[in-house]
Structure 1
Amino acid sequence: MGVDTMTAAGPAALGAAGPAAVRRARPARIVAVFVVAIATVVALAVVDLTLGTSAVGVGDLLGLLTGSGDDEALAVLIASRAPRVLAALLVGTALGLSGSALQSVARNPLASPDTLAVNAGAYFTVVLASVTGLTLPFAVNGALAFVGGLAAASLVLAIARGGAEGPTRLVLAGSATMLALSSLTILLMLLFEQETQGMFAWGEGSIVQSGTSKVAQAAPAVLLAGIALVLWARRLDVLALGDDTASVLGLDVRRTRIVSVLLAVLLAALAVTVAGPIGFVGLTAPVIARLVAGRVPGLSRHRLLLPLSALAGCVVVLGADVLLRLAVPGVASVAIPTGIVTTLFGASVMVWLARRVRDSGPTRSTASVGAHPASPRRVALVVTVLAAAVVSALVAGFLLGDRLLLMGDVTNWFAGVSGRQVSFVLDQRTPRLLAALLAGAALGLAGTTVQAVARNPLAEPGLLGITGGAGVGAVLAIVLFPGAPFWVTSAAAAVGALATFALVYALANRRGLSSDRLVLVGIGVSAAATSLITLIVVLTSPWNTTMALTFLSGSTYGRTAMQVWPVAVALLVMLPLVVRWRRDLDVLAVDDDVARVLGVQLERTRLSLLVITALLTASAVTAIGVVGFVGLVAPHLARSLVGSSHARVIPVAALLGALLVSVADTVGRTVIAPAQIPAGLLTAMIGTPYFIYLLWRTRRSAL
């Protein structure tokens, strides 16, 4: 079985020294590292204290130290700047410790509160609590965040067997869980807009504080959890040797893992309660610490590595805040969450780590899961049933909504003899129905091509960053060119999708395209794209977060006939091309060597198919916004129904995608009418359990 280079050695592969290096430990060098780290934290904290919207600089702060400062400088320091810096220090410490512990438990440098969905689970429970409209005590919010984060992390670790099946499966499980929780969170914010006002930007992680009360309440818990982890350090050192070796040495492996995860989740939950889910600090800080430890013998022991990770977390958060305030001076720097900068930096680190991965056996072995040969009669029956279901869904879409209609109303509307009210309703519904139907078909088709090319049934356009890139392009066009013709938005989405695809493809194509690298790089780029969308909205329209939430959740609200044309044209052009390459898709899904032996122009065909995927995804995004997991569920269900031959999978996946999105749109317009649930949220809620089931089902085949 092929093994990922990082996973085989765990986090030590990033440079942590082995036992021999520990014996050659040089205390002077270790002390020097901590002195430099502490000095860096202090310097960044001082610089951060001098930056802000008021004219309080270094001289004023020095005056306060010497007793000659004025009251204005003191008020600014106490009310605004000091709480912000203290929050950065607390959050950086908590997430640095949390990420380091999770990476050690999973023996995986990609494990973190983000990739294990701890932050997403904690954020969801905090938003859920805010829906009540009650002001809950800090301890209650912290407890709710802990429960949510622990539940999410437990699910992800169970699916990925504690990270033993490699970084790809761990990150995929975390991404799926995070997307489901994010969908539920967005739904709460849309349905309870007043109660959750201001939580959209906070959801990216903001260290802006009104006083020091939150930091003061969280600090003792962070300190105690940190001390407990350091006292637990010797057990983590033994655990790093492997489960079998650790058991032989008398370590209770299960207990060590449980306690470590509990402490790590508690630290992450406290950070979320204070400042929201600040992205990827728990990933980047331990990576930085382990890279330093690889050059300093003796520093890889957890009793030193954990404090160094905490200091690295402080450097990351403070550095991001300083960079933000220097790049965006004035009031805007207050509105922009610091977590956007840390996410962009963390996504870059994740991509760098992903480029160190080589293909693993487990991912490849799942490529044929659910693919059973089907007789021509069965294929014809499946296509007929699905076509009838799509027609039924279309009819139901015409009839159901905030106002129920009859078939006679629809028939009269088609004949041009309906009343004014019926005409108004159907004039609004028809573009929405067509947009959902065609976008679903496009996403099903895009998922089919990308899974074959990536040779991974767990891949889909959203997880490869293509959907996020199209979203960035579309949102940029909306905010930069308000009132512009719709083709401008469509073109911008296409450019964004193609640019993102080109970036992911170039980064993943290191000594040949790797399935694992393609997925991991795509997830990193997708996270960066989501943060960019938030940044654009906060900078250009900070009070119009509903626009961003609606777009990010995949809504057909307000669609017109002009917005349906791009996806219709894309399907008319791309579908024949995909059908033409159906045999090449069959070969690509097997192995590169087989494709070369059979005369397939591997790189050219692969590149062409991925370009088609990007264009189909971009057209779907312009039609209904960001919709996740349709490109995953539709192709996999198609293979389970008609087998792995793409001549059969292509039409079935397109029909399933159209059916899934159109049903989700109709249900979303009907169940809580006149309010609406965006279609993308429902597809995520449907697709995520299926995705988790797929990951769970393939655990044993991956062993």
Structure 2
Amino acid sequence: MTDKRSLLLFVLLVLSCTLFLLWNLRAPMGFILSLRLTKLAALCVVGGAIGTATVLFQTIAANRMLTPGIVGFDALFVFIQTMLVLTLGGIGFAGLPSLAQFGIETFVLVATALALFSVLLRKGADDILRLVLTGVILGVLLRGLAGLAQRLLDPSEFAIVQQASFATFSGVNQNQLVIASLILILCFGVAMRMARFLDIVALGRNVALPLGLDYDRVVFAALGLVALLVATSTALVGPITFLGLLASSLAHAALPTWRHAKLLPAAAMIGATILVAGQFVFERLLGLQSTLTVIVEFAGGLLFLFLVLRRPKP
């Protein structure tokens, strides 16, 4: 039954991608297909990366209501954009090579996340709650600092920061996309090799240690994958906080299993399907632009409130 549901998720993803590529395709077909393929690849890469990272993070935190974004990735991304514009100016920021900007953003996001993980969990990987709370407070601090710095910008520079601070799939650089795709493939492959260890991690530290698992090592490795996946996808298109919550929740609902070898691909496929199908509806059917991320965040926020407020089963 699980394999049939996984196959259905794959079929839905393929159908969404086919509709996105071929719907209302007109001449010049080659040029239009190249643009659509680039955007489609970005949608799949970001959806797959965030879906995979969220399942990993929820397993480590032993909480299905959390997402990696709660650690403050989105706030740090906005802070980086603000400081780049404040330091370089609007013209300097616009003239910054795309690969250099992508590299700076990815490096800072990954380095900050790894520093946070290593400092807070240096005594062991059993204090995830302190990590999450610190991430929330750090996010609030960075938002405040970004808001203060934005007051020093002139209106045109502030507009640049605002535009760069929201997720967009239009005009994705192909070189950045290739790098992000390679990182996703590498991280996903490592996560799948760790799947059987993650199954044991999900049982909890007190159960995993007597079973002979190097619990701390597995958790640190998984957190490194989370940092790399979220940092890369955020640097590529911008922050999407609640997409992972949607993908992970739907993956657990579609595949009632504890095996990460099934959950990780399911969450990746669902995350990609949400973005591709959503972009198809808004862009092809409704003729709207730059509204998908708003809807995803709204739906994810509602789901988060539902998970927080629902009564636990007796």
TM range, smaller chain: 0.7 to 0.9
Q: Indicate the structure whose relative CO is greater, using CA pairs within 8 Å and at least 6 residues apart.
A: 2
Per the TM alignment, residue 652 of structure 1 is displaced from its structure 2 partner at its CA by: 0.4
Superposed CA deviations along residues 449-497 of structure 1, whole A, max 9, x for unmatched, are 1111111111111111234334544665577453333222222222222
Larger-Rg structure:
1
Does the 8 Å CA contact 2:64/2:249 hold for their aligned counterparts? yes
Q: Residues 297-318 of structure 1, C-alpha deviation per residue, up to 9 Å, x if partnerless?
A: xxxxxxxxxxxxxxxxxxxxxx
Cα shift at 1:560: 3.0
1:66-101 residue CA offsets vs partner (Å, 9 max, x unmatched): xxxxxxxxxxxxxxxxxxxxxxxxxxxxxxxxxxxx
SS state of the match for residue 597, structure 1?
A: coil
Residues 488-523 of structure 1: per-residue CA shift (max 9 Å, x gap): 222222222223323542564386542332222222
Q: Per the alignment, do residues 437 and 532 of structure 1 end up closer, same or farther by CA in structure 2, a change over 3 Å counting?
A: farther
In structure 2, relative to structure 1, the CA distance for the partners of 1:434 and 1:590 (3 Å cut) is: same
| CA deviation after TM superposition for structure 1 residue 442, in Å | 0.3
| Corresponding residue number in structure 1 for 2:94 | 482
Q: Does 1:583 find its partner at 2:196? A: yes
Superposition TM-score, scaled by structure 2 size: 0.86
Separation of aligned partners in 2, 1:696 and 1:460: 17
Matched residue pairs, number?
A: 307
Superposition deviation, residue 563 in structure 1: 2.9
Counterpart position of 2:20: 397
Change (3 A) 1:663 1:466: same
**Map of 1:107-122 to 2, 5 A cutoff?**
none
| 1:683 alignment partner, one of 296, 300, 311 | 296
The whole-number CA distance in structure 1 between the counterparts of 2:239 and 2:269 is: 19
Q: Which residue of 2 aligns with 1:464?
A: 71
Shift of 1:535: 4.5
Structure 1 residues 559 and 511, CA gap change in structure 2 (3 angstroms):
closer
Q: Which residue is 2:54 aligned to? A: 447
Gaps of 5+ in 1: 1-377, 410-417
- How far has the Cα of 1:630 moved from its partner? 1.6
- Residue 606 of structure 1, aligned match among 195, 204, 219: 219
- Could you say which residue in structure 1 is the equivalent of 2:175? 562
Pairing partner for 1:667 from 281, 287, 291 = 281
Distance 1:483 1:435 in 2: 23
Q: CA 1:626 to 1:493, structure 2 compared with 1: closer, same or farther past 3 Å?
A: same
Distance 1:384 1:617 in 2: 26
Shift of residue 615, structure 1, vs aligned partner = 0.7
Aligned to 2:106: 494
How far the C-alpha of 1:561 sits from its partner, in A, is: 1.6
Indicate conservation of the 8 Å contact 1:567/1:623, yes or no: yes
Q: Is residue 2:10 matched to residue 1:383? A: no
Confirm or deny: 8 A CA contact 1:474 1:490 kept in the other structure: no
Structure 1 residues 550 and 669: CA distance shift in structure 2, 3 A: farther
Identical aligned residues as a percent: 24
2:77 touches 2:165 (CA, 8 Å); kept in 1? no
Q: In the aligned structure 2, how far is the partner of 1:611 from the partner of 1:518? A: 14
CA distance in structure 2 between the partners assigned to 1:466 and 1:636 by the alignment:
20
What is the DSSP-based 3-state SS (H/G/I as helix, E as strand, rest coil) of the residue aligned with 1:700?
coil
2: CA distance between counterparts of 1:617 and 1:602?
A: 22
Q: Which amino acid aligns with 2:185?
A: L
Unmatched 5+ residue regions in structure 2? Answer: none
Alignment partners' CA distance in 2, 1:589 and 1:657? 22
Q: In structure 2, which of residues 219, 224, 231 is the aligned counterpart of residue 618 of structure 1?
A: 231
Counterpart for residue 133 of structure 2: 520
> How big is the shift at 1:537?
4.6
What displacement does 1:588 show? 1.5
The CA distance in 1 between the partners of 2:32 and 2:219, in whole Å, is: 44
User: 1:323-472 to 2 correspondence within 5 Å?
Assistant: 378-399=1-22, 405-406=24-25, 409=26, 418-419=27-28, 422-472=29-79
* Cα 1:545/1:434, change in 2 over 3 Å: farther
The residue type equivalent to 1:489 in the other structure is Q
Of 465-474 and 592-601, more deviation after overlay is shown by 465-474
Report the residue type matching 2:16 in the other structure. A
Q: Tell me, in whole angstroms, the C-alpha distance in 2 between the residues paired with 1:662 and 1:537.
A: 33
Q: Secondary structure at the match of 1:462?
A: helix
State the match for 2:260 in structure 1.
646
Say whether the 8 Å CA contact 1:453–1:588 is kept in structure 2.
yes
Displacement of 1:541 in angstroms is 5.4
The answer to whether 1:633 aligns with 2:255 is: no
| Partner SS for 1:612 | helix
Does the C-alpha gap of structure 1 residues 464 and 584 become closer, same or farther in structure 2, counting only changes over 3 Å?
Answer: same
- Cα displacement string for residues 405-436 of structure 1 (whole angstroms, at most 9, x for unaligned residues): 24xx4xxxxxxxx53xx444434332222111
Residue identity matched to 1:381: K
CA drift at 1:650: 0.8
Residues 474/543 of structure 1: CA separation in 2 closer, same or farther (3 Å cut): closer
Indicate if the aligned counterparts of 1:470 and 1:621 stay in contact, CA closer than 8 A.
yes
Give the deviation of 1:527 after TM superposition. 2.4
TM-score, normalised by the number of residues in structure 1: 0.41
Q: 1:424 to 1:459 in 2, by over 3 A?
A: same
- 1:664 maps to amino acid: G
Alpha-carbon separation, structure 1, partners of 2:258 and 2:160: 40
1:618 shift after superposition: 1.2
CA distance in 2, matches of 1:397, 1:537: 37
CA contact (8 A) 2:184 2:229 kept: yes
Aligned-pair distance for 1:623?
2.1
Q: Is the contact between residue 443 and residue 630 of structure 1 (CA under 8 Å) also seen in structure 2?
A: yes
CA contact (8 A) 2:81 2:165 kept: no
Q: CA deviation at 1:556?
A: 0.9
Q: Quick one: distance in 2 between partners of 1:566 and 1:624? A: 13
Match of 2:272 in 1: 658
Q: Shift of residue 575 of structure 1?
A: 0.9
Contact 2:85/2:157 (8 A) holds in 1: no
